[in-house]
Amino acid sequence: MPFINSWATPDRRVLLSLAEPVIATLDSHIQVRPSDCEAGGILLGTVHGSNIAVVEATVPTTWDKRLRFFFERMPSGHSSIARARWNASRSTVRYVGEWHTHPQDYPWPSTLDRIEWNKLSRTRADGRPMLAVIVGRKGLYVELVPHAGTGPVMTPME
């Protein structure tokens, strides 16, 4: 079962679409085997009012630290891709958030994830909340992370 493309906050104020290549990238990094390591990258997309369209998910670089229950992104490779897309798209495709995998069917953020997400949210150049995606074996966890605390969790629209 492929992941769903369209998501919304409970109040339907923020709609999110994940383009087909994004779904394919997330899908190909699911931690299927017991030996599979966590993976992750950044999410690039366009914003339309409060809505977000994710057009690209970067894949782990050789600098990232990958373990079974741990993933640490080394910013250099990912941010240079973000810069290149921003320039090539005439400043429309931007950094919108991050994704990583968990070896859980229906994933849930760890305490460390939350600390890291709030930190990343505060550093976003456009001041918007950060889109955080965790890829589980059977579903995605999608949250709009504010500068502090917990944000709205998005649910699939079918």
Please identify every residue annotated as catalytic: 38
Q: How many residues bind Zn ion (CB under 5 A)?
A: 2
Tokens of 85: 């897309």
The residues in 52-91 that bind Zn ion, with binding defined as CB under 5 A, are: none
In the complex with Zn ion, the residue whose CB is nearer, 29 or 85, is 29
Of 55 and 144, CB closest to Zn ion? 144
Which ranges constitute the DSSP H helices of 8-156? 20-28, 75-88, 111-122
Measured between alpha carbons, how far is 6 from 8 in angstroms, rounded to an integer? 7
In the set 113, 135, 144, 154, which binds Zn ion (CB under 5 A)?
Answer: 113
Of the two residues 39 and 82, which places its CB atom closer to Zn ion in the complex?
39
3 state SS of 12: coil
Cβ–Cβ under 8 Å, residues 41 and 71: no
State the residue number with the nearest CB to Zn ion: 113
Q: How far is the CB of 50 from Zn ion (least distance, A)?
A: 25
39 near 32, Cβ under 8 Å? no
Chain residues that interact with Zn ion, rule: CB under 5 A: 110, 113
